[in-house]
A and B are shown apart, each in its own frame.
Chain A
Amino acid sequence: DGGITQSPKYLFRKEGQNVTLSCEQNLNHDAMYWYRQDPGQGLRLIYYSQIVNDFQKGDIAEGYSVSREKKESFPLTVTSAQKNPTAFYLCASSITDRVNSPLHFGNGTRLTVT
Chain B
Amino acid sequence: DQQVKQNSPSLSVQEGRISILNCDYTNSMFDYFLWYKKYPAEGPTFLISISSIKDKNEDGRFTVFLNKSAKHLSLHIVPSQPGDSAVYFCAAKFAGGGADGLTFGKGTHLIIQP
By a beta-carbon cutoff of 8 Å, the part of chain A in contact with chain B is: 4, 6, 9, 31, 33, 40-45, 48, 50, 56, 58, 90-92, 94, 96, 100-108, 110
12 inter-chain pairs at a CB distance below 8 angstroms, sorted by A residue, are A6-B43, A42-B4, A42-B106, A45-B100, A48-B99, A56-B100, A90-B43, A100-B32, A100-B49, A100-B93, A103-B46, A103-B102
Given contacts A56-B100, A96-B98, A103-B46, contact A43 B34 (CB under 8 A): no
- Tally B residues with Cβ within 8 Å of A: 24
State which of B44, B46, B49, B98 has its C-beta within 8 Å of the C-beta of A50.
Answer: B98
List the B side residues contacting A106 at CB < 8 Å.
43
Contact A40 B43 (CB under 8 A): no
Contact A94 B44 (CB under 8 A): no
List the A side residues contacting B107 at CB < 8 Å.
40, 42
Main secondary structure of the interface of A (DSSP, over half): strand
B104 at the interface (CB under 8 A from A): yes
In the assembly, what is the distance between CA of A45 and CA of B93, in Å? 13
List the A side residues contacting B106 at CB < 8 Å.
40-42
State which of B34, B44, B103 has its C-beta within 8 Å of the C-beta of A90.
Answer: B44
List the B side residues contacting A94 at CB < 8 Å.
98-99
Closest B residue to A110 by beta carbon equals B41
